[in-house]
Amino acid sequence: MKRNLSLLFILILLILSCSLFTRKKAPPEEPSEAAEIVAENYVSDAIDFYQAQKYEEAIQGWQKALKIIPQDAEIHNFVGLAYHRLGKLDSAIVYFKNAVLFNAEYQQAWNNMGYMYFLKSEYRLALENFDQALHINPNYEQARLNRVKTAQILEGKLNIQAFEIVEKTVQIDSLELKIANYRKALEIDSNYVDAWNNLGVAYFYYSNLDSAVICLKKALDKNPDYPPAHNNVAYILDVLGEYDKAIAHYQKAIQLKPNYVIALANLVDTYVHKEDYDSAREILDALKQANAENYLVRERMTDYQELLYGKGAQ
């Protein structure tokens, strides 16, 4: 059974995630098939509670499931996620530890436990857990980004006060407050690339394109190899009709991060705007091969089906 819970809790580049999981059939004698169905119903109901932000109820449901299938690593991970949402970091750690105890290859649980230690300012323990996740999967992008940020703080390259301001600002809806907070973070640490990038994005949505471009270029001055800023600059250049410059920045972002789906999907748009349909089709074909289920890819396939492939094409 596939459990339809996919959580991405994003605080700038520190990411807490729980991936989709395909259930293995339990041994027929323990638990029984009927008991497993009951457990899965508890799991499903708890997911609904979690998505409704009813975290206590979600925990109760998952704990009922654990009474039936106590060694299910994924459910332990789910409980850890809910305790994190309640701010009970030590309880979350207990359940993430259970998750990796029952499945030592559970990379998301190692990453999640590292993030709990990060929130507790126990950065060396956080690094150990991020490293374990990366040992299991060297291509685990979320753990890699988490490790980079943690290492920067330990090495004194990232001011924790500025980081916390930016982290909290991501959750704010007001563009005016976002802009004020990002500027405050930059007053503390003028080299904070993420803050320059996020400030540029906030200015863009505030319809101040000139300031947006200035901030994003500032981010690239600080780090020329920062894919999000290349993607964001390119997006704005596309809006301004400067398609060739936009394409150059998208290509740089993709060079730095080859499977950068957002940049690839945006590049398709820019080629369409430029009326270079052959290039747009080539990029979209590659995206379909590698990321057919990604919602951005599905959107482009729907939007450009007739334009790029002809009426009636499948």
Q: Which residues of the chain have pLDDT under 70?
A: 1-32, 311-314
pLDDT at 15: 38
Phi, psi for residue 21 in degrees, rounded to 5:
-140, 130
d(CA 149, CA 166): 13
Of residues 238, 260, 242, the one with CA closest to residue 251: 260
- Contacts of residue 147, Cβ cutoff 8 Å, sequence gap at least 6: 114, 127, 130, 131, 134
pLDDT at 37: 86
Rg, Å, the chain Cα set: 22
pLDDT at 94: 97
Instruction: For the chain, list the domains and their CATH numbers.
Output: 2-25+32-154 (1.25.40.10), 159-224 (1.25.40.10), 230-314 (1.25.40.10)
d(CA 36, CA 201): 47
Give the tens place of pLDDT for each residue, 75-108. Answer: 999 999 999 999 999 999 999 999 999 999 999 9
pLDDT at 154: 92
Maximum distance among all Cα pairs of the chain, rounded to whole angstroms: 67
d(CA 178, CA 117): 27
Is the pTM value of this prediction over 0.75?
no
State how far the alpha carbon of 52 is from the alpha carbons of 8, 45, 112, in Å.
15, 11, 21
* Distance, first Cα to last Cα, the chain: 30
Alpha helical stretches, state H, 25-159: 33-51, 55-68, 73-85, 89-102, 107-119, 123-136, 141-154
d(CA 114, CA 143): 9
Place of tokens 């940049």: 263
Place of tokens 């605080």: 11
